[in-house]
Amino acid sequence: MSIDCCCGDNASVFIVTLKTSGRRFAVEPGETVLEAAQRAGIALPYSCRAGVCGSCKATLLEGECAYPRNPPLALSGSSPAKHAVLLCQAVPLGDLLIEAREVTSVEDIARRQLRVTVVEKQQLAPEVIGLVLQPAAGEAGLNWLPGQYLDVLLEDGKRRPFSIASGPRADGAIELHVRHVAGGGFTSWVNDGLQIGDELRIEGPLGTFVPREDSERPMVFMAGGTGFAPVKAIVEHFLALGTRRPMRVYWGARSVADLYLRPLAERWAHEASNLRFQAVLSDPEQALATGLRVGLIHEAVLEDQPDLSGHDVYMSGPPAMIDAGRKLFLDADLPEDRLYYDSFDYAPDVLAQILAGRAGLSD
């Protein structure tokens, strides 16, 4: 049912019902389904929050939605019969019945803002800076699940998302891997100007790219570039649990230098008999010179596991990699509800600028 709003503009509050659990929540005028769910304390999957990555895709069983903010690019190629909807951008036009995964493991973790101090800074790769942050004096430590991310809050009100490269630590430390983007104001400042002792303001935890422990299936992890950060956190979590589930970890990059923590991943494989690590380089000359596997990372995964029907797959990295992997892995019979991914290459406002530029070119 819809509830008339008393603000005088005939706007209505609509009700969304989740088919699997039967949970219901209200969506205020102009609010997206994801925003309303988060306000109600219900965790639905999401990542980029800009309609590009597809992490928040769900099935719309009843009702209609509009996309007044960003076009739902992640729905391109979706079968109309599936009535796919992007929860991070969908604004209801009436009451909805949707079928969506709920990530209840993150619901009890409070999202909050806090000040943090930079206590370590090191060059992990030519274009990657490793940071360790500590809660500033008087701030309580942040709680999160491995694989989640945080937003760095900038003075102009903008945000920059970064995956946390570890699980919670007893000392409260937060590890980040920051890739320097040419022309990127914040990452350039991190690279050239940020000093140990400087303070940042962050908000977190965010995201639903977290370990799923209610399974005994083999796991495949695929990371591209600094997408290794959340994969590292989740793999270390499963290793700490002592899981016996087979794990295959693939890390793709252009050059050897971009595999900035390769010795760590090789140590996992040496110490855990159920884990295999594969580095994949897209640069043929670099691969030939180093003896590493050459090619595209998602193709390497499928060469080793052409049938993914019995696996759980975690992937994290640039949007192009995520998009290619999603399509090919589903074609390899991986059930969509066993595919978990995180696409964090651009902040939402940067994505909005890119989309606006594309729209201008198409006019």
In a shared domain, residues 325 and 251: yes
Per the listing, tokens 């422990």 go with 213
Report the chain's mean pLDDT, rounded to a whole number.
89
Among 178, 206, 234, identify where a domain stops: 206
d(CA 16, CA 1): 9
In a shared domain, residues 95 and 191: no
- Region 90-109 average pLDDT: 93
In a shared domain, residues 223 and 339: yes
Q: Which residues on adjacent β-strands are paired with residue 26?
A: 15
Question: Given this model, what pLDDT does residue 34 score?
Answer: 96
Q: Is pLDDT above 70 for 31?
A: yes
Q: Is residue 81 part of a domain?
A: yes
What is the β-pairing status of strands 247-253 and 149-153? unpaired
Among 71, 102, 133, identify where a domain stops: 102
235 φ/ψ angles, rounded to the nearest 5 degrees? -60, -45
The per-residue pLDDT for range 155-213, each reduced to its tens digit, is 888 899 999 999 999 999 999 999 988 767 888 899 999 999 999 999 999 999 999 99
d(CA 268, CA 60): 41
Residue 343 near residue 53, CB atoms below 8 Å: yes
In a shared domain, residues 180 and 223: no
Q: Is residue 118 part of a domain?
A: yes
Q: Is residue 355 part of a domain?
A: no
In a shared domain, residues 53 and 165: no
Question: Given this model, what pLDDT does residue 231 score?
Answer: 98
Of 54-58, 234-238, 340-344, the poorest mean pLDDT is in: 340-344
In a shared domain, residues 224 and 201: no
In a shared domain, residues 240 and 294: yes
In a shared domain, residues 238 and 267: yes
What are the CB-based long-range contacts (under 8 Å, 24+) for 105-110? 105/43, 105/145, 105/210, 106/43, 106/145, 106/148, 106/205, 106/208, 106/210, 107/41, 107/42, 107/43, 109/143, 109/144, 109/145, 109/205, 110/143
Higher pLDDT, 32 or 319: 32
Number of domains in the chain: 3
In a shared domain, residues 88 and 126: no
* 259 CB neighbour count, 10 Å cutoff: 23
Q: Is residue 171 part of a domain?
A: yes
Q: Is residue 200 part of a domain?
A: yes
CATH number of 282's domain: 3.40.50.80
Range of the domain at 268: 219-343
In a shared domain, residues 158 and 92: no
pTM of the entire predicted model:
0.86
Q: Is residue 136 part of a domain?
A: yes
Among 153, 181, 206, identify where a domain stops: 206
The per-residue pLDDT for range 268-318, each reduced to its tens digit, is 999 999 999 999 999 999 999 999 999 999 999 999 999 999 999 999 999
What are the angstrom distances between the C-alpha of 205 and each of 13, 128, 148, 229, 341? 28, 22, 6, 15, 16
Q: Which amino acid, one-letter code, is at 210?
A: V
Question: Given this model, what pLDDT does residue 2 score?
Answer: 47
Residue 277 near residue 266, CB atoms below 8 Å: yes
* Closest to 275 measured CA to CA, from 315, 230, 245: 245
